[in-house]
């Protein structure tokens, strides 16, 4: 079969012949793949830089962690797989598949789930979002941040505050459901003042963070308590686009009712992962089919994978490989 294959660690995937996958377990099924999205996770895994590949010895590998396609009986499904998905055929676990609603475009179905994992899982399981909550999304102008705004609204958030560096993209979030924008282009003092003012007016219940680094240091500094009772806030880190470490004063944790946790592969329980496929993705697929969630894609043919791999994708769009 034809597939997008990384032959050497860190190399660009090539359109090449690759052995067809074999079913080795009772719960596995073969999917005839029609589309698969390319995400930061896929790039990191292909390069051997993701924490989930730390103990793996590299060998020629089909890229991709999820995709959409048809089963032998004609059913259209989304599936997750650690065995590679950007290929004509892929192996899927029956427990990690979701039926695609009629009318939902394959490219949208391929692009949406990763952003759902990076937003809904944090909101629902780590933050325990409730109707009426105020949510601050730090770094909301990326693909997953945009989906987070829309899902927070679906989950009943009363107020959504967003931060970002791209002014045009930041303003576009107002049309997706954001109520207030705070630019990361502000100097440190003005940014902290804006965060503090917003928090004092409408106490923030949940912070979803896609950046980490200095912006989180500023947000935590703005939230720092003064020895009186403070509002309970949950900060969930999902990405580290601005750096993998921060400096954190113990005074912030001692003087502020704030809980810091993370959401990502390895942090979810088996039960939460099961609900991702049985409830969350189906719900968001239907929301997308109903026009309540919007995501933009950039499509390329699998034959173009080598040139598309490092190509600059327009802001806010997910690269989708069609097969």
CATH number of 175's domain: 3.40.50.720
Residues 124 and 196 grouped into a single domain: yes
End-of-domain residue from the set 211, 241, 262: 262
Residues 255 and 301 grouped into a single domain: no
Q: What is the DSSP letter of 52?
A: G
Q: Are 63 and 13 in contact (CB under 8 A)?
A: yes
Q: What is the DSSP letter of 311?
A: S
pLDDT at residue 53, as a whole number: 55
Which residues lie closer than 8 Å to 122 by C-beta, 6 or more apart? 148, 208, 236, 238, 263
Residues 29 and 110 grouped into a single domain: yes
Residue 168 token pair: 């045009």
Number of domains in the chain: 2
Residues 109 and 39 grouped into a single domain: yes
Q: SS3 of 160, please? A: strand
Residue for token pair 């941040």: 145
Residues 255 and 126 grouped into a single domain: yes
pLDDT at residue 47, as a whole number: 74
Q: SS3 of 22, please? A: coil
Closest Cα to residue 111, out of 31, 36, 13?
36
Kindly give the parts of the chain with pLDDT less than 50.
none
Residues 183 and 219 grouped into a single domain: yes
End-of-domain residue from the set 262, 277, 296: 262
pLDDT at residue 235, as a whole number: 98
Which residues lie closer than 8 Å to 107 by C-beta, 6 or more apart? 35, 297, 299, 320, 322
Closest Cα to residue 319, out of 301, 304, 300, 303?
300
pTM above 0.85, yes or no: yes
Residues 283 and 238 grouped into a single domain: no
pLDDT at residue 112, as a whole number: 97
Residues 46 and 126 grouped into a single domain: no
Residues 221 and 275 grouped into a single domain: no
End-of-domain residue from the set 262, 281, 312: 262
Task: Please classify residue 173 by burial: count the beta carbons closer than 10 Å to its beta carbon, then call 0-12 exposed, 13-18 middle and 19+ buried.
Answer: buried
Residues 146 and 177 grouped into a single domain: yes
Domain ranges, residue 15: 2-114+269-322
Residues 128 and 215 grouped into a single domain: yes
Closest Cα to residue 121, out of 155, 160, 163?
155
CATH of the domain at 13: 3.90.180.10
* Chain centre distance of CA 126: 14
Residues 64 and 199 grouped into a single domain: no
């Amino acid at each position: 079969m034809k597939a997008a294959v990384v032959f050497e660690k860190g190399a660009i995937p090539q359109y090449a012949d690759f052995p067809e996958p074999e079913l080795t377990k009772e719960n596995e099924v073969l999917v005839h793949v029609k589309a698969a999205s390319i995400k930061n996770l896929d790039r990191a895994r292909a390069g051997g830089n993701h924490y989930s590949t730390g103990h793996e010895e590299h060998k020629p590998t089909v890229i991709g962690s999820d995709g959409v396609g048809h089963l032998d009986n004609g059913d259209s499904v989304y599936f997750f797989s650690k065995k590679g998905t950007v290929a004509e055929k892929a192996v899927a676990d029956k427990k990690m598949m979701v039926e695609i609603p009629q009318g939902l475009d394959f490219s949208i179905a391929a692009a949406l789930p990763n952003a759902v994992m990076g937003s809904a899982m944090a909101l629902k399981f780590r933050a325990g979002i409730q109707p009426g909550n105020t949510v601050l999304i730090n770094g909301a102008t990326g693909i997953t941040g945009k989906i987070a705004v829309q899902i927070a609204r679906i989950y009943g958030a009363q107020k959504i505050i967003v931060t970002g560096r791209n002014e045009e993209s930041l303003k576009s979030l107002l049309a997706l459901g954001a109520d207030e924008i705070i630019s990361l282009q502000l100097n440190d003092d003005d940014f902290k003042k804006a965060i503090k003012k917003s928090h004092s007016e409408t106490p923030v219940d949940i912070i979803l963070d896609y950046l980490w680094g200095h912006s989180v240091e500023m947000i935590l500094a703005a939230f720092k308590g003064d020895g009186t009772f403070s509002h309970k806030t949950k900060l969930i880190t999902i990405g580290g686009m601005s750096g993998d470490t921060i400096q954190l004063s113990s005074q912030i944790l001692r003087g502020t009712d704030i809980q810091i946790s993370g959401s990502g592969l390895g942090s979810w329980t088996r039960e939460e992962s099961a609900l991702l496929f049985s409830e969350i993705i189906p719900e968001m697929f239907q929301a997308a089919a109903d026009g309540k969630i919007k995501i933009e894609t950039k499509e390329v043919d699998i034959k173009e994978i080598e040139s598309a791999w490092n190509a600059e994708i327009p802001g806010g769009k997910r690269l989708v490989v069609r097969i």
